[in-house]
Amino acid sequence: MPHVLGNFFELLLKMPTWEQIAANTELVVAFGGLAMKNTQVHAGGFGRHIAREAQQACVARGVEFVSLSALRDDAAEFLNAAWLCPRPNSDTAVMLALAHTLVREGLHNEDFLARCCVGWEKFRPYLLGESDGVAKDADWAAKISGLPAATIRDLARRMAGKRTLITVSWSLQRADHGEMPYWMSIVLAAVLGQIGLPGGGIGFGYGAVNGMGAGGARIPLPALSQGVNPVSAFIPVARIADMLENPGAAFAYNGRMLNYPDARMIYWCGGNPFHHHQQIGRLARAWQMPETIIAHEPWWNAHARHADIVLPSTTTVERNDIAGTVQDTYALAMQKAVAPFGQARNDHDIFAALAERLGFREAFTEGRDEMGWVETLYTRWRDRAAAQNVEMPAFQAFWEAGHFRLPEQPVPVFLADFRAAPDVHKLTTPSGKIEIFSATVAGLGYDDYPGYPVWHEPVEWLGNTRAYPLHLISNQPRTRLHSQLDNGIVSQTSKVNGREPIWIHPADAAARGIAGGDIVRVFNGRGACLAGVVVTDGVMRGVVQLATGAWYAPLPEDGAHDQSNSLSFCAAGNPNVLTRDAGTSRLAQGPGAHTCLVNVEKYTGTLPPLTSQEPPVVVPRT
């Protein structure tokens, strides 16, 4: 919510560190949990994995944890976290009820709300039910979330009685009106009044990647020259199928009305839309509308299979590069381990060859090859470090050593200056303060965004199951990064009879005559897929968990010959044939994949072959 607390990406670098949490925090309340599996990765790479030892240090110093999630292992076992299981997508209601309890019992911080926030007087009547006749109390939230009202009230009192850090998983925003729990978590932290205190307040994504809360060197890394894109057309990243199906159509985004461009060609380098996009059957049909699709790929995955032209690209072990991030203290020399396979080329070399055919190779490459750019980027990084009085070795010494550790930079207490003098140390919000009520958002005129966070019943959820009684959690996988290396041994070993594993509660399995190791059909009105059953009480009743990343393997279902229908059936277990391809709201138009209901039944047919791991037939050019 950029209008509420300031620039989100800047905030990620300033949040409380694990060291500060261990030293000062007494209670961590984690909406969406702190999944340890996600902390194996970080954009840009990482020299040292810190999440496990950091969380263990918190436990050793007596920090208590509460995880609100449908999955038990969203908090590591050693945290001894209290596991609360609200219905998925009901977090905003729980947060409202916590705030209501704080206010009704006089546990809120009026001074902080008055000095550091705007709009409390507009939000308070909604919270207390004075504006709509519905008090957002614990009894109200219990009916929505399934959590006992006494549990909600007790948690609010514990939060008020301890130095408390509220954290929110990145996943919560990827649901119907997923902006609301983010906004409401900030409001809850403001009501509690601990923002700006050491180890208190609010933080985001601590269980999302390794670097959240890591501290780091804080020296910005250089990048290749970006140039100026002459194309001004814009779409939110999750609206690809909408764009392809509706060229020229108008859509709402963040208070503006924009138009979808007419995309005649798609050039996709990096990422796999047939992994991360929702309702893949719809995407696959829309993908046939452009005249030409070009893909860079090292593997024959669905991304490559749905392209007209595939340019074989190298993997990270086939090229030279540098790894690093401002949230780490390491510069890492990523030295090529093997020569590129077959005709594979580095992405930069592919672009350079295209630039040469178009007549501007020198302008694009600036006269540098792969190692020329690696050395140039490192030298620019070294110059930036020198400006901060940090001496990095010359390039050749760094490259031969393989790494260099930069000194840790101190991280000030998040928003401490703002708390002390909010009129001097202003936030980057329109008011300079925390916006409980945003005049900017209210001015957009959206009927579902009155200017402060509110509870919206999701379009489909366990509070109204209709035809499909199970909520699908399609989270990050444990055995790969996104869909990368789903063809590798680690990912393949985790499969159940070649299919992606699906977690289901023992009671839900028994009601369907399902046992561990069975193959099941997971389905709703948007599509279906096959998955292998894991029966576990580590997932709450009424919820199934099927990780993303299985390579999309569309096949006609149960002998059907209609090719258009076959695109919505995945034999390998990709859950995105099931998820909703609809924006979170007119405000953000983000992906709403985590608002998804399904049903599960035992599969009794002949298992279809898995073709997603096999190369297609290549016809030689004559």
Give me the domains of the chain, ranges plus CATH numbers.
8-210+412-442 (3.40.228.10), 240-405 (3.40.50.740), 470-602 (2.40.40.20)
- Tell me the pTM: 0.96
Work out the burial of residue 283: count CB atoms within 10 Å of its CB; fewer than 13 is exposed, 13-18 middle, 19 or more buried: buried
Which pLDDT tens digit goes with each residue over 342-380?
999 999 999 999 999 999 999 999 999 999 999 999 999
Q: pLDDT value at position 562?
A: 41
Work out the burial of residue 230: count CB atoms within 10 Å of its CB; fewer than 13 is exposed, 13-18 middle, 19 or more buried: exposed
Contact 171, 204 (CB under 8 A): no
CA distance linking residue 68 with residue 155, whole number of Å: 11
Lowest mean pLDDT among 38-47, 72-81, 155-164, 478-487: 38-47
Nearest Cα neighbor of 280 from 577, 546, 521 is 577
Q: pLDDT value at position 622?
A: 67
H helices present in 61-199, as ranges: 91-104, 110-116, 120-128, 138-145, 149-161, 179-192
Q: pLDDT value at position 476?
A: 95
Q: pLDDT value at position 404?
A: 96
Q: Two tokens at 90?
A: 């009901």
Which pLDDT tens digit goes with each residue over 274-300?
999 999 999 999 999 999 999 999 999
- Checking if the pLDDT of 407 tops 90, the result is yes
Work out the burial of residue 393: count CB atoms within 10 Å of its CB; fewer than 13 is exposed, 13-18 middle, 19 or more buried: middle
Which pLDDT tens digit goes with each residue over 449-473?
999 999 999 999 999 877 899 999 9
User: Residue 56 — very low, low, confident or very high, per pLDDT cuts 50/70/90?
Assistant: very high
Tell me the pLDDT of the chain averaged across its residues. Answer: 94
- CA–CA distance from 300 to each of 538, 611, 614, 615 (Å)? 34, 10, 7, 6
Q: Which amino acid does the sequence have at 512? A: R
Q: pLDDT value at position 609?
A: 86
User: Residue 6 — very low, low, confident or very high, per pLDDT cuts 50/70/90?
Assistant: low
Q: pLDDT value at position 3?
A: 56
Q: Give the sign of the dihedral formed by CA 556, CA 559, CA 563, CA 568.
A: negative
Percent share of the chain, pLDDT over 70: 97
- Checking if the pLDDT of 440 tops 70, the result is yes
Q: pLDDT value at position 560?
A: 45
Which pLDDT tens digit goes with each residue over 488-502?
999 999 999 999 999
